[in-house]
Structure formats: C-alpha cells, structure tokens
Amino acid sequence: MSFVVGTALLAVVTAVACALPGVFVVLRKGSMLVDAIAHAVFPGIVVGYALTQNFDSPVLILGPALAGLIVVAGAEALNRTGLLSGDSPQGLIFPALFSIGVIMVTTQFANIHLDTHMVLAGDLNLAAYEQLEIGGVAVGPQYLYVMIGMLVVNAVFLSVFYHHLKVTTFDSQFASSLGIRSNVVNMAFMFLVSVTVTAAFNAAGAILVIALMITPPATAYLLSNNLPTMIGITVVVAIVGALVGFGAAYVLNAATSAAMSVLYGIFFVLAIGLERFRRRRRQRASQGELVVSPTV
C-alpha cells in the first residue's frame, strides 16, 4: 500500500470514528465537553509516558481516557452543587489539567516529540509514517489499524446501546421510568468519547479533533429530521470531507487535519444556507396558501 493511499484511508477512518459518537454529543448539546476532554487527554498522555517511557504502551490510551472522564465526573459533581451552571465547571477543570500537562512537558520531557503543534493540531501525515509489515509487505500505517479498531468499537457500542442512548438523550425521565440508569449510560458513553479523542490525538490534536467529532453531525442535524438519517448523513459528510480535505492538503502542501476541518466548516455553512432557503420556501408556500384560501 502506498503512503498516499494509506494516509487517505487513515483520514477517512479517523473522521468516521470521531463523527459516529459525535452524533449523540451534538444531540446532547455537549460539544464543549468534547473540548474539555480533548485538553484533559494531554496530561493523561504525559503521565502515561512518565510511567511507561513508551509511546506504544496501552497505558497511553487508557490513562488519557480516564483523565477525560475526570473532567466529565468533575463537571457533573460541580453542577450538582447548584453553585455553578452551564459550561463553568468544565472551564474550571480542564484548563488546570491541561496546564499540568504543559508544565510536565516543559520541565521534565522537553526532549520528546510532544510539542505545542502536535498537542493542538496533531499531524496525520506523521501518524501514518510507521508502516505495518506482514511477511515483508507493507499493508498500511500501523496507526490506521488502531483507528479501524476504534471505529469498530464505536460502531458496536452505538449499535448495542442505540435505544438506551436515544431514550436517555431525548427523554431522560422516560428512560428512568423504563428502568434505564441514565447516569450509567452517560458515563459509559462519555468514556467512549474520551477513548476516541485519545485514539485520534496523534492525527488531530486537542483542537482539530473537536471539528472531526462535532462538525459532520452538526451539519447532518441541519439536513435531517430523524436519527437514522442524521447518522447516515454524518458518515457521508465525514468521508467526503476527509477525502476532499486530504486532496486539498496534498495539492497545497498543507496540514491534512486542518484542511479537513476547513472543509467540514464549509459544508456546515452550506447546510445553514440550504436550511434557510428551505424555510423561506415553506414560509412563502404557507403565505400563498393563505392568500388563495376562500374566506368564510
């Protein structure tokens, strides 16, 4: 497999793996929580490396994911006090955790490849550099198969717990009446989001991973009127944006993840324009019906 093809596949798989759980994140209005998790992942990676001295260790997946879960649990605990509301608890927790990671890198691990650019934006091309060889034949980037595994885990989780997620997302009180423990479902789902953000960290960093997870489902939300359609449109937008963004980055010699994020932003703006056009047509049609309707 050529490097270009492998990197393009990595872009697509990473985009879809992030966008699938992003559907329920958007519906739950938790987009900023993804931002908090993405920043909390960084100190988890640093601590994991400090313990293992190995970037390939599974600890560097589990540790950062648990750090992201700390943000979720801490935010919920502060919300329950009634002293803070909205995004304030997240704004208190994740800057502190992110700062701890920055301090640890600058003071103890300045010699490792974990600079500001990698932390914020990632590097999809660099992530695709190490090839997996089977029988002396390169079968694509090693990181590609990590993200394929993440995509499978997300797809299986969402399939198995689809009805639980749907009920707890749209009507938590009804879910409780059915015996569904909403807090358990929410924490399990947010742990999945944390693992996904951690897995995509090398490719997209703490900032651009938000675009990969939020923008495709937000675009699909504007173009759909039911959940299955929204999921389908999300996958299509994620794939098209990844391929077109990768092509644009290749031509312009630009960062792939950044180009993908720009494409997703353009798709979202186009979706807003299309939705406004639809609303105006419906308004004109309803006004026309009022004009031609007979008077009583």
Q: Domains of the chain (ranges plus CATH)?
A: 3-212 (1.10.3470.10)
Q: Tell me what pLDDT residue 77 has.
A: 78
* 3-46 residue pLDDT tens: 788 888 999 999 999 999 999 999 988 777 787 787 777 777 77
- DSSP β-bridge partners for residue 141: 131
Q: Can you tell me the mean pLDDT for 46-70?
A: 73
> In terms of pLDDT, which residue wins out, 153 or 291?
153
Is the model's pLDDT at 115 over the cut of 60?
no
How many other CB atoms sit within 10 Å of the CB of residue 192? 20
Q: Can you tell me the mean pLDDT for 252-278?
A: 88
Q: Tell me what pLDDT residue 296 has.
A: 44
Amino acid at position 78, single letter: L
* 120-156 residue pLDDT tens: 556 777 777 777 777 777 777 888 888 999 999 999 9
For residues 157 and 163, give the distance between their C-alpha atoms in angstroms, rounded to a whole number.
11
- Rounded to 10°, the helix 162-170/182-199 angle is 110
Is the model's pLDDT at 258 over the cut of 90?
no
Instruction: Please report, rounded to a whole number, the percentage of residues in the chain having pLDDT higher than 90.
Output: 24
Q: Tell me what pLDDT residue 19 has.
A: 93
Q: Tell me what pLDDT residue 148 has.
A: 92
> Residue 133 is encoded by which pair of tokens?
């060889």
Mean pLDDT, all residues of the chain:
81
> Residue 19 is encoded by which pair of tokens?
């966008």
Question: 206, 212, 204: which is closest to 102 by C-alpha?
Answer: 206
Q: Tell me what pLDDT residue 220 has.
A: 94
Is the model's pLDDT at 192 over the cut of 60?
yes
Phi–psi pair at 89, nearest 5 degrees: -60, -40
The answer to whether the CB of 22 falls within 8 A of the CB of 217 is yes
Report the predicted TM-score, pTM, of the whole model to 2 decimal places.
0.83
